[in-house]
Amino acid sequence: GIQVEQSPPDLILQEGANSTLRCNFSDSVNNLQWFHQNPWGQLINLFYIPSGTKQNGRLSATTVATERYSLLYISSSQTTDSGVYFCAGMNYGQNFVFGPGTRLSVLP
């Protein structure tokens, strides 16, 4: 099955800093999403991005499908951005394979 790697595993930022999170896939996926898990465990979908670039406010994501990686950019980080960020891929099946996550802490 698909293997998903994420880097870095942990990231500590000062409020206002920018960051880039990376996700690598071992095989092609037809559905790639980024999620943010808040301290209460809720997984919130950030982007559906099997290819190309999307932006939503301070967040943007880019997926290069031919090279099997995706990047999540967070600009002007805020304390509310803290949590765990997961990427997940679906390969023509109906279930996601998640990466191990990047734990982000934004300090005031």
CB of 16 to another protein, least distance (A): 28
The nearer residue to another protein, 48 or 58, going by C-beta atoms, is 48
Nearest to 63 by CA among 93, 95, 33, 107: 33
Q: Interface with another protein by CB under 8 A: which residues?
A: 4, 31, 33, 35, 40-43, 45, 48, 86, 88, 90, 93-101
Is residue 105 within 8 Å of 82, Cβ to Cβ? yes
The nearer residue to another protein, 7 or 45, going by C-beta atoms, is 45
The nearer residue to another protein, 45 or 53, going by C-beta atoms, is 45
Q: How far is CA 86 from CA 76, 96, 108, in A?
A: 20, 11, 23
CB of 42 to another protein, least distance (A): 5
